[in-house]
Amino acid sequence: MHVRRFLFVAALVAAGLAGLSHGAGAAPLQMHRAVYDLSLLKADTMSDIANVSGRMVVEWRGGPSCDGYTSLQRVVTDMRSDEGLSRNDVRLSAWEALDGKSFRYERLTYFNGQRSEKVSGRVRSDPAADEASITIDGKPPVPLSGAVLFPASANIALIDAAQAGEKIVAQKVFDGAEEKATLSTAFIGKPVPPGKEARRVKILNAEAGKQLTGMKAWPMRVAYFEDGPGDSEPEFQMAFRLFPNGVVTKLELDYPDMSLAGHLVGLEYFSPGSC
């Protein structure tokens, strides 16, 4: 099964990094670990998917004192279909340079307890020359289709756009979920009150929840497309609420054959500058 199905880095880990923005009215960066329970919202009637459940853990740290930003993500899902029950376990670790020009990552994929994939990559991007290249598992570099934004840089721009009242942001992003760039289009709504999920977090973690209940969040929907010519249907769409401090709640993950809900069930804050 395609790894993008179970990795939501560009919109989620990176959305947290959006809190790095230093635009007017930006909330302070809040490094954190977030835990989400995943459940099936609906499945296409033509698919053989009966149920999906799982858990996603996202962690990010870093800043100027760390020479960059690190992100960790693990997604474990159990899918029941006509073929029985299968477990997917995807783990992604990444580091992005402060200047947004270099990125390295390692991705491990397990299927039913057996490792099915291990990929290590390094990417360099030069926006001025509109060039980028990727080195996979130590092999010679291969050019990408023009300059790319890495998660932190892409989402600093995203949150700055939200603060400026912009409604649509289009970007070309490389996040390590695949060995290619992805085109994304983000639709940004008006800020809304924190809602039930923030209050639920406050019950689970009073200190973390207190910070959320004092903020409004932007409802966003991000669509991901193949990087290529011509019109196409999105491969994946993701809706969520993004708080100014980088915390994400109220997830909806939409694929051609199914939709998943992600509920924030755990939130831990790290001290500033934690590497």
Asked if 195 and 241 touch (Cβ cutoff 8 Å), the reply is yes
Return the C-alpha torsion angle 140, 70, 226, 129, nearest 10: -60
Structure tokens at 12: 């989620």
For tokens 């947004």, name the residue. Answer: 100
Distance CA 8, CA 260 (A): 12
Asked if 223 and 188 touch (Cβ cutoff 8 Å), the reply is no
Distance CA 211, CA 209 (A): 5
Structure tokens at 228: 């290529």
Return the C-alpha torsion angle 166, 154, 186, 194, nearest 10: -80
Structure tokens at 139: 């092999």
Local confidence pLDDT in tens for the 275 residues of the chain: 444 455 555 445 555 555 454 444 445 567 889 999 999 999 988 888 899 999 999 988 887 778 888 889 999 999 998 889 999 999 999 999 988 899 999 999 999 999 999 999 999 999 888 999 999 998 999 999 889 999 878 877 887 888 889 999 999 999 888 898 889 999 999 988 877 767 777 766 777 777 787 788 889 999 988 887 766 788 889 999 888 777 888 899 998 889 999 988 888 888 766 67
Instruction: Classify 3 as helix, strand or coil.
Output: helix
